[in-house]
Amino acid sequence: MTDEVASAVLSGSTKTVETALELIRMLAPAAKNLLAGTASLGKKGVQKVISKATNNGAVSNARLIAEAEKAHCTILSNSNFLARDAEIIAEKAAKYNVPVAIVGEGEKKTVEFLERDKAVINQITQEIMQERLKGAPESVKSFSVSPNNAAAIKALLNENGVECQFVNDGDKIKCVYPAEYAEQVAVLKNEYKAAYAEIEENLGIAPNVPETERQIEIKSQIEDIENSRDNAELRGKYYDEFLSKTEIEFPTYSDRNMELVEEQMPDAKQVAGKAFWEKQGFKMNEDAKGVEIFAPQVDDNGNPVLDENGKQLFTTTVVYDISQTNAFEKSLGGKIDELQREYNTETVNSLKDGNTIKVELFNERDGNSVEITVDKKMRKPEVKEILKEKLGYSEMQADLAANKLCRELGLDEKKFNSHSQVDNLNALKTNIRYPSDDVSLREVRYDAVNFKDGETTHILLQNGDKSAALSPETMSKTEMINICKDKLGMSEQQAELAVAKAVKIDSQIKSKIAERTIDEKGISQEIHIERTGTQTFTVQLGDKSKFYNANTINLEDKIAKDFGIPKENARNIISKAKSQSLLQNKIAKSTSSKKAAPTPKIELGKGKKR
């Protein structure tokens, strides 16, 4: 909902007939042809205006004045409506046979109606407000990904025409994308999960190095665990080992009950009720078989039930052995993974000594394979290119496969992933804080994100595990407040403070390219500043263009001398260059063929020579 609708409160100022006629004249040039004949209205003599009704439900001013004369009531008006909102009011009013006229040109309109219909128009306006507020739309949406897989997600979305940006989120990274692509992203996320599962299952990694004694021992242990799936004796050893190490306090049973367990299930290791196993985090097998034992009867309050002689009554209950639960399968995967990691550590010990090893990568599904030489200097982009060329992987598949190689070979993750993950995350303005932040918003995180158009800044707010996006340039204050309340669980006051900060961030980001200065002649000109690298930028004034390195000694003096501007303004230019997003500049250049993207401009203000 727009602020214009929200502010259109029906105060209802009474108009004189002269005012009504003046408003009719505002319809010029069409109004010149509307006046015809005369009629009296109230105590004021006026000309009667004859005109046809408009096709959007609104009537002409002439018709409205005629209705006012017939009903012997005055005309009220409300201004500052957007054109689309005024038309909706007229359409709704027509359904109630309430005459409404729309006055004005352009986007802002005035709605006129009879005083007798004030209550109806007020209700219609409230309906429109509620419709606009209902589910206030976000311009962007987001989801979390692990830092290692962000590049794969980005590749998949970009390949399918969905632009995305990323912001740091602690151990995770937020992938932010335009809300209009929400349905496509939902499908692509499922596609990503399927690709991840396929890589994990089908990509084999076999280092071609002699096995150590410890590796041979580890392989034997893994083989025993796998075989124990179908070998009761091996499983029994596993349960003995598990029960000897666990700290779970199991229930105790009488000798008679233990005899019943022994009779019905001779191989049982440890029995307990279903509720007990589930409380420990285990699930019962689908074909779980229980053992009947005796248990004291108790009433609903937990008191023992006695017979007529005062003796405790017993009933039968069912208990299950640990073998009837998923305890074995639950621990099996974790144990194998633990052993596999140890095996891999042994494999890469040679890498730590600076040696190289040959590794065969093979796709078990189609049988394709490739052998690569790995050393501790290997980087992710190299591996990805090999996988794309030799195994036919897409950009996303190659990224996921390279991650698996790094993980299984124990490579230095930071070095392996350098320059191959999300481009310039730090170039985006993230985790924006102000000393004046209200204490109730101290835990709320603000990240500013832009897309290729570079025109609209989206502010991503994160409050604990909840997140929402605000776009101050395209959203009204009311819409943003409602998003904060609905999506982030904020109070009215918190929401107002959060929106105020978002608006401030938006204005400050826009002001990065607005710096007023003058040349030595006091003439106003345009200066172009473009950050071209981590420490480099260009400055253009008129026909003169210069390239600078931010680390240059006395740089402000040099810029001031080169362009004949005050040193203070040269300092501002350096500051503006550093605050520009290198990522956004690259994006602007890459899309310039589709849409002219002007170089960030700075207006040089007029003034006297300093």
Conformational region of residue 380, where left means phi above 0, alpha means psi within -120 to 50, and beta covers everything else: alpha
d(CA 358, CA 373): 4
* Residue 18 pLDDT greater than 70, yes or no: no
pTM of the model: 0.46
Average pLDDT, stretch 464-482? 85
Give the tokens for residue 306: 């006695």
What one-letter code names the amino acid at 201?
E
Query: Which pLDDT does position 106 carry in this prediction?
Result: 73
Q: Is the pLDDT of residue 426 over 50?
A: no
Question: Phi/psi zone of residue 13: left (φ > 0), alpha (ψ -120 to 50 degrees), beta?
Answer: beta
Instruction: Give the pLDDT score at 188.
Output: 92
What pLDDT was estimated at residue 34? 33
What backbone phi and psi angles, to 5 degrees, belong to 231?
A: -125, 110
Question: CB atoms < 10 A from the CB of 283, how many?
Answer: 14
The Cα 151–Cα 423 span in angstroms is 9
Delimit the domains of the chain by residue range.
Answer: 3-133, 136-251+324-416, 429-509, 514-603
The two beta strands, 526-531 and 466-470, are: unpaired
As a whole number of angstroms, the distance between CA 402 and CA 405 comes to 5
Q: What is the mean pLDDT of residues 557-569?
A: 84
Q: Looking at the predicted structure, is the pLDDT value of residue 159 above 80? A: yes
472 close to 480: Cβ distance less than 8 angstroms: yes
Cα 175 to Cα 145: distance, rounded to the nearest angstrom = 7
The answer to whether residues 396 and 192 touch, using CB atoms and an 8 Å cutoff, is yes
- pLDDT average, residue stretch 260-266: 88
DSSP β-ladder status, 601-603 and 75-82? unpaired
Residue 350, pLDDT score = 58
Per-residue pLDDT, 499: 92
pLDDT at position 150: 82
Tokens for 363?
A: 């796709």
Q: What are phi and psi of 114, to 5 degrees?
A: -85, 145
Which element (helix H / strand E) includes 377?
none
SS3 per-residue string spanning 553-581: CCHHHHHHHHHCCCHHHHHHHHHHHHHCC
Residues 6+ apart with CB under 8 A from 311: none
What proportion of the chain, given as a percentage, has pLDDT over 70?
Answer: 73
What is the torsional sign of CA 366, 367, 370, 375? positive
Q: Which of 505, 461, 500 lies closest to 483 in space, CA to CA?
A: 461
Q: 580 or 312: which carries more pLDDT confidence?
A: 312
Q: What 8-state DSSP symbol labels residue 269?
A: -
